[in-house]
Amino acid sequence: MYLKVELPWNIAIPAENTDAKGLMLQRSIIIRLLDDFASKKATKEHGYFIAVTNLESIGEGRIRENTGEVVFPIVFSGITFKIFRGEVLNGVVHKVLKHGAFLKCGPVESIYLSSLKMRGYTYLPGENPIFVNDKMPKVQVGVMVRFMVIGTKWMEAEREFQALASLEGDYLGPISED
Asked if pLDDT for residue 72 goes beyond 80, the answer is yes
Question: For residues 19 and 143, which has the higher predicted lDDT (pLDDT)?
Answer: 143
Output the pLDDT for position 15.
76
Rounded Cα–Cα distance for residues 176 and 12 (Å): 47
Q: What is the pLDDT of residues 25-34, one digit of tens each?
A: 788 888 889 9
Classify domain 88-176 by CATH architecture.
Answer: Beta Barrel (2.40)
Report residue 23's pLDDT band, with 50, 70 and 90 as the boundaries: low
Output the pLDDT for position 19.
67
| C-alpha dist (Å) from residue 91 to 2, 107, 135, 142, 160 | 15, 11, 20, 10, 16
Q: Where are the domains of the chain?
A: 2-81, 88-176
Average pLDDT over the chain, rounded to an integer: 91
CATH superfamily label, 2-81: RNA polymerase Rpb7-like, N-terminal domain (3.30.1490.120)
Output the pLDDT for position 8.
93
Q: What is the percentage of the chain residues whose pLDDT exceeds 70?
A: 94
* pLDDT winner (highest mean) among 29-33, 53-57, 143-147: 143-147
Output the pLDDT for position 13.
87
Asked if pLDDT for residue 178 goes beyond 60, the answer is no
Strand partners, 108: 105
Across 53-57, 82-86, 107-111, 174-178, least confident range: 174-178
Report residue 138's pLDDT band, with 50, 70 and 90 as the boundaries: very high
| Neighbour count for residue 70 (Cβ, 10 Å) | 20
